[in-house]
Amino acid sequence: MRVSFETKLKHLEKLGADFIGNTPFMEVSGDKREGAKIFAKIEWYNLVGGTIKDRGVYRYVESRPRRS
C-alpha cells in the first residue's frame, strides 16, 4: 500500500518538531567498569523518519508555502 505525500505531511505535522533533535539516551546496564557510566542513543525512538535526514527534511517541509 502506497501512502501519499500529503498523508505523510499530515503525519509529520501531528508529531511536530518535538521529536526531531531530541533522541533520548539510556544508561547501558550490566557494564561493571568502575567510575564510568555508558549511555546509548535510542535511535529506534526516532518516530518521524528514523534517520539523520529528519532535521533537513523537516526544515525543507516547513519552508515550503502552505496550500490553502
**47 lies in some domain:** yes
Enter the pTM of the model.
0.36
Strand partners, 25: 41
In a domain, 27, yes or no: yes
Over 60: is that where the pLDDT of 48 sits?
no
Q: Which three-class secondary structure string do you get for 20-57?
A: CCCCCEEECCCCCCCCCCCEEECHHHCCCCCCCCHHHH
Residues of the domain holding 50: 5-63
Place 1 in a pLDDT band, splitting at 50, 70 and 90: low
| The total number of structural domains that make up the chain | 1
Is residue 68 assigned to a domain?
A: no
Determine the Cα–Cα distance for residues 12 and 49; give it in Å rounded to an integer.
9
Does residue 15 lie in a domain region? yes
Contacting residues for 31 by C-beta, under 8 A, at least 6 apart: 38
Task: Give the whole-angstrom CA distance, residue 31 versus residue 12.
Answer: 37
